[in-house]
Amino acid sequence: MAFLSGRRRRSRLAPELDDQELGKLLKSLLATTRTGTIATTDLCVAQIARLLDQDPGDWDRRAHRMGVLADFLAGSNLPRSWATREPRNPSALTLHAWAQVARGRSEGHLEDSAGVVESCLRAAELAPQDPTPWVVLLGAARLERWQQSQVFGAWNEVLARDRWNREAYLTMLGYLTPEEAGSRIQVLEFVDALRARMPANMPCAATELTAQVFQYHSVLGRGGFEALTARNHWSQAMAAQALERVVHTWVQPGFLRHARALADLNVLAYALMAADRRHEARPVFEALGGIVTAWPWQAGGDPLAEYDQAQRRAAAGA
């Protein structure tokens, strides 16, 4: 993760974060699909396959790239076409399944749940060391509200291959919230168990802080007096301690090295501003260099506008 200079840069939504190769691919895919040429699918597939074949065994980077591409292509027929053409290509099968899950999140359900499961299991069989098909299956299980025994089955398959998989931990966290299929107690137990075992700079390091943002958003969502006093959440012991554990380390150059580190810094900047800890938020904004993620900023409205306003407030210190 590149830490940038203190000079303010124009903020922008960048799903690729600081992954320059992925950013170039997204731009190329957009330009290629606009041409409408007969060879469009072949060219796009070749570009995607080339990127996903880089860094074999770097499951963290693979999940980041696959997830961003799945979101980008959720409304496209390209992942289905690739999987149909290459039914024994685990990357094609996994991307196809993940794109369906991404589309399902916006629609509230999977169009073809059985097909997603089949694609994930075939990909897992073809690439037995790769946790990514199981990560996608876990996402499908969360969306479809599978029973916890089934969900934990997929979860254990991920952990057997990638102990600190960021996407898997955040997916399980969301599933265990009281708004979905769990309870507040289950969230606390999940976070406590992770914190007791996890080294501080693992890819899933933001799980605890994300849980606190989830709870904060839950309070805001109740409206009325509770929403007006929601800031008090960050003065409570667990929320304050979650911030204290990361605020001084995450901004240190080289401390966070995983692919979605800038997404985690967005969460930290948001939480610090919600807690009115503006002085501590300033170096976080400097490290971000204007790279914005839609969540959690979109909770207050337009994410870029919310980010820019928060950055100005942090810079002014008032």
Model pLDDT, residue 38:
47
Reported confidence tier of residue 8, pLDDT bands at 50, 70, 90: low
Q: What is the mean pLDDT of residues 53-79?
A: 96
Q: What 3-state DSSP class applies to 12?
A: strand
Q: What is the mean pLDDT of residues 95-105?
A: 98
* C-alpha dihedral (176, 127, 160, 165), degrees to nearest 10: -50
Note the helical H segments in the chain: 20-35, 40-52, 59-72, 78-85, 90-107, 113-126, 132-143, 148-161, 166-176, 184-197, 207-221, 224-228, 237-244, 261-274, 278-288, 294-297, 303-316
Which among 273, 277, 317 is positioned nearest to 299, based on CA atoms? 273
According to CATH, where is 1.25.40.10 located in the chain? 18-182
Rounded distance, CA 186 to CA 191, Å? 9
Query: Is residue 159 over pLDDT 80?
Result: yes
- Asked if the bond preceding 131 is cis, omega within 30° of 0, the reply is no
Domain 18-182 listed as CATH 1.25.40.10: yes
CB 308 within 8 A of CB 16: no
Q: Whole-number mean pLDDT of the chain?
A: 94
Q: Which residues pair with 12 in a beta bridge?
A: 291
Query: Is residue 207 over pLDDT 50?
Result: yes
Which among 305, 251, 298 is positioned nearest to 277, based on CA atoms? 251
CB 133 within 8 A of CB 97: yes
Query: Is residue 115 over pLDDT 80?
Result: yes
Query: Is residue 118 over pLDDT 60?
Result: yes
Model pLDDT, residue 310:
98
Rounded distance, CA 302 to CA 112, Å? 32
Residue 291: enclosing H or E segment and its boundaries? strand 291-292
Which among 98, 147, 149, 153 is positioned nearest to 120, based on CA atoms? 98
Confidence (pTM): 0.94
Rounded distance, CA 233 to CA 214, Å? 11
Q: What is the mean pLDDT of residues 149-173?
A: 98
Report which of residues 33 and 308 the model is more confident about: 308
CB 139 within 8 A of CB 98: yes
| Residue 222 phi, psi (nearest 5) | -75, -20
Rounded distance, CA 278 to CA 284, Å? 10
Q: What 3-state DSSP class applies to 197?
A: helix
Question: Residue 25, by phi and psi: left (phi above 0), alpha (psi -120 to 50) or beta?
Answer: alpha
CB atoms within 10 A of CB 118: 13
